[in-house]
Amino acid sequence: MKDWDRLITVEQMEEATASLLENAEKVGADTWQQRSKNQSPHCGFGEAGTCCRICSMGPCRITPKAPRGICGCDVHGIVGRNYLRFTAGGTATHSDHGREIMHTLHQTREGGNYQVKDPEKLIRIAKEWGVETEGKDIYDLAHEMAEIGLMEYGKPFGHQKFTDRAHPHTQELWDKADLRPRAIDREVVQSLHMTHMGCSSEAEALIHQSIRSGLADGWGGSMMGTEFSDVMFGTPKVMDTEANIGVMDKDMVNIIVHGHDPSLSEMIVHYAQDPEMIALAKSVGAKGINIAGVCCTANEVAMRHGIPMAGNFLNQENVVLTGACEAIVVDIQCIFPALGPLSKCFHTKFITTSDIARIPDSEFYRFSAETAGENAKAIVKMAVENFVNRKPELVNIPNQKTKARVGYAVETIKKTLDGVCNTHVDEMGTLKPLADVVKAGVLRGAVAMVGCNNPKVRPDTAHIELMKKMLKNDIIVVVTGCSAQAAAKAGLMDPDAKEFCGEGLKRVCELVGIPPVLHMGSCVDISRMMILASDLAKDWGCNISQLPLCGCAPEWMSEKAVSIGNYVVGTGINTYLGVDPYSKGSSEVTELLQGETGVKQWCEANYTVELDIEKLGDLMIEDIEAKRAALGI
Ligand code: MSK
């Protein structure tokens, strides 16, 4: 089948990047393409997970001649410990993002910088948590919920409240295997404690804690981050935006927001629309102020304000290389330290804002919930005033831009289905129409595509090629994180991309008015996917692990991605990786993650690691068809 002709191909994106790399050469800038070459080949011990530097007797590296570390730990203990530490890093990171959101919720005030924009959602969650809502001022309720939410991090007893939302069968599995996460900080701290020298070296115990730590992220910290961001900034609704590097505008002041925490980007977006700031932009010769996003911040502001998405993880240097970026404003996570020296080669201001992410060669502007308004205004002003320092001879904005329809929160998906199928059952709606089209075979199933880019994989190829393959096979794709931007940049979130699908999926897209790839948000919003899977199984009348559904992170790179993978398999969804998680050095760890014992036995799902993307896609389709056959559909 011929590709849909409005698709922007990976080759075209690479041409755009090549022209930007010419800019890099002109100014003598360093880029990840070069650094990646400098770092190759990678250390074989590190890649296999068989190097231990947890104490100072080593580092110990496991070889056939030296099968144990100095303490006597074998390869399975070393690989398992490394895997658990990797997971704990991811759980801590996502969950601390969630914690910041809860602190911001505590700062909400009527008419303040932060307000409650979705009071119904706040009340719904309060009722779910058994909090009295009757006659309470909405801000008093917000503050009470913030305090209860913050206690989820350190409460001495009990389990994560949001785990009660999961499908009853999933909860039973968690309880049976002792996997239901307790306080979030406890799971992270226990992971570090277990992996300290002289504690756990049994692979099974280490992988068990990896899954529980992941679940504390997905059904704890990330879910709080998502749900209470919706409460404060609004639950995403369907909106149209644009994507790819061409969303930058040579006649405007371009401010790029990058990172994860919407508390910053919401304020920047707000002040970029301030008439005083727009007048200032015009006074320095620009036509106005253009905000665009990179990485998960792009997802956050796209799905709530329709702000365009300039690119994903490996495009963060590209936005500076255009020579038209007045400021790149970052908060936390996935920010290249390289942006410091790179921005110095141009007129770009690299503005860091969080004590969590302090980076050399940046201008640090501490951003806090209490002073958010004045901080954001000062940052926007600084960017606008920097427009005059632009060097016109360096401006090169590749002309690549696509349309994207975004904003499919679970609530939005249910409402969209309600609108078409007239099946409204309660205020939350139902996923029954979706279950029905899958049962009927019009759709064969669904894939949740998530995760980063990684120079080990030709950037965006795996995301885009796998999505195309799924769509052609009538498998709907839901996306978050940098996978979402890969889809958007290519044009796969344009409703017209239905032309690119198999007949069944095309019909559904036409009937419901959706693009074939549904944007569900940022990395923390993978928690939305867990709720979607859980609710779908409830409406279907089966268990999550029986659904023709799988997860996929074909180009992942961060610790957060491993934590995510652990909660996705921990929720009963088979997960397909295109990059190895540093576990291949141990047959025991590999079996626990990818075999029939371990996570498969505890949670009815496991990982598949396959570096050949074509094969990875075939395996997912086989999995979906096998699930259908087992259900007799
Ligand atoms: S931003 S974690 S590179 S998806 Fe969430 Fe993208 Fe991966 Fe960061």
The secondary structure of 309-338, three-state, reads EEECHHHHHHHHHCCCCCEEEECCCCCCCC
Distance 577 CA to ligand 1 centre (A): 15
CA–CA distance, 138 with 108 (Å, rounded to integer): 10
Residues in the chain: 633
Whether 103 shows a pLDDT value over 50: the answer reads yes
351, β-bridge pairs: 329, 363
- Whether residue 577 has its Cβ less than 6 Å from ligand 1: no
Q: Are 250 and 395 in contact (CB under 8 A)?
A: yes
CA–CA distance, 139 with 158 (Å, rounded to integer): 27
Q: What's the pLDDT tens digit per position in 411-459?
A: 999 988 876 666 555 557 789 889 999 999 999 999 999 999 999 999 9
Q: Which of 226, 309, 449, 482 to mutate to test the pocket of ligand 1 (most atoms within 8 A of CB)?
A: 482
CA–CA distance, 8 with 14 (Å, rounded to integer): 10
- Whether residue 560 has its Cβ less than 6 Å from ligand 1: yes
Q: CA 130: distance to chain centroid?
A: 30
pLDDT band of residue 302 (cuts 50, 70, 90) is very high
- Whether residue 523 has its Cβ less than 6 Å from ligand 1: yes
Q: What's the pLDDT tens digit per position in 473-494?
A: 999 999 999 999 999 999 999 9
Q: Are 229 and 262 in contact (CB under 8 A)?
A: yes
Whether 2 shows a pLDDT value over 70: the answer reads no
CA–CA distance, 129 with 148 (Å, rounded to integer): 9
Q: Give me the percent of the chain exceeding a pLDDT of 70.
A: 98
Task: Examine domains 7-36+245-394 and 403-631 and report if their fold is the same.
Answer: yes
Distance 241 CA to ligand 1 centre (A): 20
Distance 90 CA to ligand 1 centre (A): 11
Q: What's the pLDDT tens digit per position in 578-625?
A: 999 999 999 999 999 999 999 999 999 999 999 999 999 999 999 999
Q: Tell the residue nearest (CA) to atom 8 of ligand 1.
A: 334
Q: What is the dihedral of CA 384, 390, 394, 400, to 10 degrees?
A: 20
Distance 385 CA to ligand 1 centre (A): 30
Q: Are 95 and 221 in contact (CB under 8 A)?
A: yes
403-631 architecture in CATH?
3-Layer(aba) Sandwich (3.40)
* Residues in contact with 159: Cβ distance below 8 Å, sequence separation at least 6, in sequence order: 180, 181, 182
Q: Tell the residue nearest (CA) to atom 3 of ligand 1.
A: 452
Domain boundaries, given as residue ranges, for the chain: 7-36+245-394, 49-233, 403-631
Could you identify the residue written with the tokens 């996917």?
529
Q: What's the pLDDT tens digit per position in 247-271?
A: 999 999 999 999 999 999 999 999 9
CATH topology of domain 7-36+245-394: Rossmann fold (3.40.50)
- Whether residue 346 has its Cβ less than 6 Å from ligand 1: no
CA–CA distance, 181 with 212 (Å, rounded to integer): 6
49-233 architecture in CATH?
Up-down Bundle (1.20)
- Whether residue 295 has its Cβ less than 6 Å from ligand 1: yes
Q: Are 301 and 477 in contact (CB under 8 A)?
A: no
Q: What is the dihedral of CA 424, 425, 426, 432, to 10 degrees?
A: -90
For residue 425, the model assigns a pLDDT of 53
- First vs last Cα of the chain: how many Å apart? 27
Distance 557 CA to ligand 1 centre (A): 8
Distance 626 CA to ligand 1 centre (A): 31
Q: Which of 452, 552, 562 to mutate to test the pocket of ligand 1 (most atoms within 8 A of CB)?
A: 452
* H or E element, residue 121: helix 119-128
Distance 314 CA to ligand 1 centre (A): 10
For residue 6, the model assigns a pLDDT of 76
- Whether residue 90 has its Cβ less than 6 Å from ligand 1: no
Q: Are 133 and 126 in contact (CB under 8 A)?
A: yes
Distance 192 CA to ligand 1 centre (A): 23
Averaged pLDDT, 274-282: 97
* Ligand 1 atom closest to Cα of residue 483: 4
CA proximity to 217, closest of 325, 87, 395: 87
Predicted TM-score (pTM) of this structure: 0.96
Q: What's the pLDDT tens digit per position in 121-133?
A: 999 999 999 999 9
For residue 368, the model assigns a pLDDT of 87
- Whether residue 296 has its Cβ less than 6 Å from ligand 1: yes
Q: What's the pLDDT tens digit per position in 522-567?
A: 999 999 999 999 999 999 999 999 999 999 999 999 999 999 999 9
CA–CA distance, 248 with 53 (Å, rounded to integer): 44
Pairing of strands 517-519, 549-553: unpaired
